[in-house]
Amino acid sequence: MRLLISLEADADAEYKTSYHHKLRGRLWRALDGTEYGAEHDDAPTGLAFSNIFPWDEIAEGDERSLLVASPREELLATMAESLKRNPEFNVGDMPFTVTDLAPVEPDVGEPGTRGVIETATGVVIRLYDERREAYGIDSESGSPTYWQPEHGLEPVRDALDANLARKHDRFAPDYVPSPTDVGETLFDGYELLKTYALPTTVTTGVEIQLVVSKWRFDYRVRDDTHRRHLNLALDTGIGGRNGLGFGFVNIVERTRPGETELEGLDAFA
């Protein structure tokens, strides 16, 4: 489940790449005083969000958008009510006003559907001591190593599945098998687009250098359980630091059973 927030810029502004901490703060302020208000330090938070898009310099009057995702519809409804009452939406030095709110319900599709999920924000994949030893990766003990291409794909597949299993344990019904119990990886194909380092404020006065990566993931929905897992990834984000806006993903291609890949492209128009 997602909430699409439409914004109008109140002034000219530079688009700040270090928006994460400020944007997280504005979203959680919308939940202050509610049953969700104290959950911002919980892990996993079950709240993921895109960047403010489109990404470009901001002029007064510009229209921008933001997507917020959660497996809990009630949380998003509570946030929407708060934003209606207080539409001022300042993200650091980027001032906006909320002009509209709309629910969005992405779905990977029924079993047999094929598609591509792409990361809209960078994915944080951290490898701790136990994982590093399993993959033969040398690094300083006691601190995470951020995944990089020379570590290979296996740590990525395992880390994404294990991370989603933690979210599954918190948010999914008990009768649904966990992503790590089904004996299959979440995605069929993993195409790395790029990796990059990003100085990020993780809390007030604390900045660290994150190494993040962008991906395209191929999938074919195997069954209803796999559909639940993929939709959970859409609702919670993938990898770590989702609470700062990393790991937000979108469906960019989808072919349902019985369709051809060309049907969605008006190929015969």
Active site residue 41: yes
Sign of CA dihedral 141, 146, 147, 148: negative
Pairing of strands 63-69, 126-127: unpaired
Distance CA 136, CA 69 (A): 36
Tally helices (H) and strands (E) across the chain.
5, 12
Buried b (16+ CB within 10 A) or exposed e, 218-240: ebbbeeebbbbbbbbbbbbbbbb
Sign of CA dihedral 17, 20, 26, 27: positive
| SS3 of residue 254 by DSSP | strand
- Evaluate whether 203 touches 95 at the Cβ level (below 8 Å): no
Residue 156's nearest CA partner among 178, 124, 180, 197 is 124
Residue 229's nearest CA partner among 170, 161, 153, 183 is 161
User: Which long-range CB contacts under 8 A does 256-263 form with residues at least 24 apart?
Assistant: 256/109, 256/110, 256/112, 256/113, 257/110, 257/111, 257/112, 257/113
Q: Which of 10, 32, 41, 107 is catalytic?
A: 41
Tell me the catalytic residues: 41
